[in-house]
Structure 1
Amino acid sequence: MINLTPWLQAPAWHIAFSGGLDSTVLLHLLADYARTHPAPPLRAIHIHHGLQPAADAWPAHCELVCANLGVELRVIHVQVAPGASLEQAARDARYAAFTNVVGPGEVLFTGQHRDDQAETLLFRLLRGAGLRGLTAMPAQRPLGQGSLARPLLAIARQQLHAYAQAQGLTWIEDPTNSDTAFARNYLRGEVFPVLQQRWPQASQNLARCAAHLGEAQGLLDEVAQADLAKAEEGAAAAWVGLDSLALAVLAALSPARQRNALQYWLSHRTRLPDARHWAGWADLRDAAADAQPTWRLADGRLLRSNGRIWWLSGDWLQAPQGEFAWADSACELALPGNGSVRLTASKPLAGLTVRYRQGGEVLELAGRGRRDLKRLLNELQVPPFVRSRLPLLYQGERLLAVANLPALGQADCQLHWQLPTNAQGLS
């Protein structure tokens, strides 16, 4: 029924096992394959959202199914964040758990099928999604250190149901699946039966349409990659841990190509804004040269500085605080929420501390005398959002060096800063 060849070299297989029809059939197929062919070790993951009393009995059912198939099961309890969309919040919590479990090169199998593909397309059409939102769910995509695979996408729900009955499988019927207050349930229970009475191939044709849209999006992604390659040139070497794009390169493109390039770039970093919020890009792009505009997005923000736009997320959304004594400068010093620093010096130094800017700092430079740090940072075009978190090395009350700026340090003393590792929030 399914082709598992693309994933045979993975170190391990995981399956998202809810206990419902789709994942039960997929688990049965994977376990059967693993019994009769060389295959990676197979483990099941059941996510308990705790959203309804009936769900408390589901882990026991899943444990029984997995025990009968000889498959290890891991039950993970998650907290679903409150918000406008319970479905989206539950999905976010579920996939965050999956990401934590899947190791390097490992595969997580999920049970989405052809009808899911069709329902997703229609659901997004009704919400007014753009081309990227209308593209087909891919058969495989990255997930954390591994990947997510959907081997049932070419198979109809009716085929899965027939297989389950023929094999004598038992599965959970989630009572919320019949609650048409949820948009997807309404489409599945009320809309699609009517469509299929008039057009029996509706699900198959919609799924094929989604695949065509996915191919068109792939071509636009190639255009975006070419545009971004030019815009990514010229990034400041001292801040290589931060992603940025040359504003002039983007502004020279047509408005449609600007949005296309940014959608591709942002899709790896944050949930994309809807059409109403793209005015934030125009405000950022068209602001006065001396302005410092910010475009706030779901998982971070874009800022403009020195002719570039910069993506900030994670620790970069909070200004670091504190003063840190450095007892042993031969060792790396961790800075809470701000990466770490290490020192290279011609001789051992004592009485060192690392601080952040408060204003009015003065640095003594060979051949230039005492200079105001603010002016020096202006000369080097250090972005304003970097300045507040730049580690400064002091000996007593004397400023010795500014991190990652060799020109702002004593000749025999340089401070090297490893920027926060979660700055990008890549998705």
Structure 2
Amino acid sequence: MMPSISWFLLSCATAVFAQSFDPGDTKSPTQFDASKVGTNTSTNTTYSNPIMTANAGDPFMVYHEGWYLFTYSTNDNITLKRSRTLTDNWDLAETKLLFKPDPSSGDPWSTDLWAPEIHQIDNRWYIIFSATPDADSPHPLQDAMCPFECPAINHRMFVLESDGADPWTSKYSMKGMLNTFDQFAIDGTYFKHKNQLYHIYSCWENTYSAWPANLCITHLNNPWNVSSSLTQRRMISVPDQAWEQVPYGRAGRLATNEGPQQLTNPKTGQNFIIYSAARVNTPFYCLGMLELIGEDPMNYQDWRKHREGCVFHQNPDAGVFGTGHASYTTSPDGSENYVVYHAQTTDDPTPDLYRTVRTQKFTWNEDGTPNFPKALNGPFPVPSGQK
């Protein structure tokens, strides 16, 4: 999810406080040595975090036919990067603008574009993202309906479709809005299970509840068409654990489940949803885990939450904070698994939150669950098969 970065009043008469984010902001709290960003170009045998220093969040990475494809929150457009290597400096990677709406158009997808993901489904590529028409400045009477301030109340989920099978050369057009029953929806992702497709996203209990942010699931007929009704929608996770709440243990406001992502154990076939918990603009942002232990993703009893705490979290000793909103990929030869995540470099973030992109190898436990490492800066060996 995009953070509450700077709060401003549009006008005394009509505005409520709004969210904004400037990915072009270069005022990083940390000065990075370019020679230590990503792969060590002197040896090509090690790399260090971060692998991208530009102010970016919500990284989504996928490996396809020898290319790593990477997209992330830019706030006003959908940008795709690509590279032959996972750990080279992504600040320098080839970049392509795929979609840039007119922010003054009033279209439902015109402002505050967050957390894009790119998925290959049936020989086409689909980009799923959230956006809002009002720059997160709803009418004050609408905001007044919420028990807490709710600037993101009009955020919804949208889908772009490629016109071909090549994700890089294709043109992308608006396919439509995913039905979330005219309620708040961000950080949506596709979940595939037994030849069925589902939409999992961060939701509220109802139109005006504002908090907590939960995880909802609906069934899809295709990548842009929800077949579930509102009464068939299910919440599969609510932030009921102390470590999912900010301040620690306070239920309600700022209790958060968001950024869901499917992770499948390639050997056992076990399916997990790794999601972000706590609050994005705090050092406590971390990854939680659900496991599908039954056969029906639409049955909330078929999901089991890992309740012992975050499965991946901040590491103050290494100066890594706010570790969250991750995606998952492999080494070029497919023998290793990598988590790609964003993090902060300070435990006292300013309103102008600055996040960089990082990656580390993870393994699998004997029970088939993912075994995430400590958040570290490296150096690490480069991924297996990387040239």
> Could you tell me the TM-score, scaled by structure 2's length?
0.24
Looking at both structures, which has the greater relative contact order when contacts are Cα pairs under 8 Å and sequence separation is at least 6? 2
- The structure where strand makes up a greater share of residues is 2
> Could you tell me the TM-score, scaled by structure 1's length?
0.22
- The structure where helix makes up a greater share of residues is 1
